[in-house]
Chains A and B, each alone.
Chain A
């Protein structure tokens, strides 16, 4: 079932985008073109696949309702495979050849670092969910907006939870050996130290390593009371959790949203291995004590029902993809223009724009639009339809 659904979705995207090649003229009846730089295949493509469902859903919804002022919305997808070179090519193609009105993505920081300057050169309105802090710089890149938390916001949430609620004093920090894992682990360890915590062990682990026992043993020997994890590799996370289970060491894991990725549920050797694991989550996509989503999200999930599969992805990915498209179309709808100045100008004026994923606020000199208090920790193993239960300690 998974296979067919995904295939269908992708080929639909492929077909739409293939059909749009070659047309370049702009006119009031011409469709609104939004470029979508998705890492659909290649390593760590789960988020993009989730985002893509939101993108397709939003587009279908808008077009079914008659489009934006009578103009259809057209998504032009490029599979960047997480490769910065492919991302730069696709970005320039979207800008110069296909003349899109705005670009959503890319979804990996490595790609985004390379494409941001290219987009800035053409003042292309760009909205992306990448976490690296330096990607947002309103002086250098006045066209780039972030609609998800920056790494610092994730880091704050994780650190706050580990120190205040888990009350750990001795911390072990793990990252994988990708660019992201190395950098995030280093920054996280530094921030813990700055907060006076004792970082007893820090390691970058090769995600393909079949056995995680050595690093876990070292962390235990060093007396770690919590393990902070920065990695998108679900295989590595599952191996770590299984090793913890085998060792009979119930140390809490706190860290990256991937800790709550649905894949882990099938990869852990016993259900309880996934307990006492806390991943970054979002209030908008978390169940309260009574098991209810916030009203806006609940209504969104109801609309997705039977149209979008949430069982193997995360609600926040779908919601963010949905919001991204709506942020673009709303800007065009409100200003009545597809010029980059008016789209960027509109975004700069947003105060608590009510999206599904969160309320976005931007100004001329603040393009980190996601509210920090929306970032919470959730119980990693509590996923139901892509949403999570808040971690213990939040009231």
Chain B
């Protein structure tokens, strides 16, 4: 039983961590926490099921198509819901615009796809029991994603440009970096990470239109625990959350598990407001 809690805890934790990275990636270039993060995770599952099961595409093609559509939605998010409100960030209008956009994505899925969970295809057919691919696929995906992102940020020119914009976008613009294009690119990248989260976790979470809000909540917690903008922190936070949540489900039952998760979340935040791995607050004066 302990093993099954650990297996499922790691799996959902990895999905949460990927959604956390989605938040972080969008935040880095725009200072916007977008409510579309969870919907992208939902779409990863739904689109994967649509392309592979319903349309019968090969798995690799289906994955590519899923990521492509997610990236397109990411770009659309930037154009429709982020760019127009960037000028007045302190009014927090992004909450409204990204929420409205997320709601539209969810409603389209509900009416055009299904309001019931739909199956997600078995991808590799490897493993069974607690070694089933549905448990380790998200973990592997998360590890590969974080490694790829580290490589991107540290070793490539475009990655460094991302970091420069994240650090100080005025300075980056002054240096002649195409700040706007980088932001669009980061939204596409974030959307693909979100899509991957849903795709790799598809066998666990199924292709279900209502997964979005759920992932929004639980994907934010790793961000808060790990510190905003800290992807490694998000991974640790995500895994910790996944394990805690599954253990709580087991220990106190379904009703009070979410209470336990949120009580822990609020308590940790109050103790360490910047997150466990976040940098301390900037000087104010």
Contact = CB atoms under 8 A, between A and B. Distances in A.
Q: Do these two chains interact?
A: yes
Interface in B109-127: 110-119, 122
Contacts of B111: 6-7, 10, 41
Interface string B187-210: 000000000000001001110101
Interface string B6-42: 0110011000000000000000000000000000000
Nearest to A41: B110
A269 B250 CA distance: 24
B56 interface: no
Interface in A242-272: 246, 261, 263, 266-267, 269
A197 interface: no
A182 B258 CA distance: 15
Among B7, B115, B129: residue with most chain A CB under 10 A: B115
A143 interface: no
A352 interface: no
Contacts of A238: 117, 206
Interface string B238-269: 00000000100110011101100000000000
Contact of A235 (B113, B117, B255): B117
B156 interface: no
B1 A217 contact: yes
Interface in A266-320: 266-267, 269
Contacts of B11: 210
Given A176-B254, A206-B258, A263-B117, A41 B214 contact: no
B115 A42 contact: yes
A28 interface: no
B279 interface: no
B194 to A, nearest CB: 18
A210 B205 contact: yes
A210 B204 CA distance: 5
A49 B115 contact: yes
Looking at chain B's contact residues, is the secondary structure mostly helix, strand, loop, or mixed?
helix
Nearest to A181: B254
A1 B195 CA distance: 25
A41 B107 contact: yes
Contacts of B206: 235, 238, 267
Contacts of B253: 203-205
5 pairs of A and B residues whose beta carbons are closest in the complex: A211-B8, A235-B117, A206-B254, A210-B204, A213-B4
Given A41-B107, A203-B254, 6 more contacts: A3-B112, A10-B111, A208-B211, A209-B246, A211-B7, A238-B117
30 contacts: A10-B111, A41-B107, A41-B111, A42-B115, A49-B115, A204-B253, A204-B255, A205-B249, A205-B253, A205-B254, A206-B254, A208-B214, A209-B8, A209-B246, A209-B249, A210-B12, A210-B205, A211-B4, A211-B246, A214-B1, A214-B250, A234-B116, A235-B208, A238-B206, A246-B128, A261-B116, A263-B116, A266-B118, A267-B118, A269-B122
Interface of B: 1, 4-5, 7-8, 11-12, 107, 110-119, 122, 128-129, 134, 201, 204-206, 208, 210-211, 214, 246, 249-250, 253-255, 257-258
Interface of A: 2-3, 6-7, 10, 41-46, 49, 176-177, 182, 203-206, 208-211, 213-214, 217, 233-235, 238, 246, 261, 263, 266-267, 269
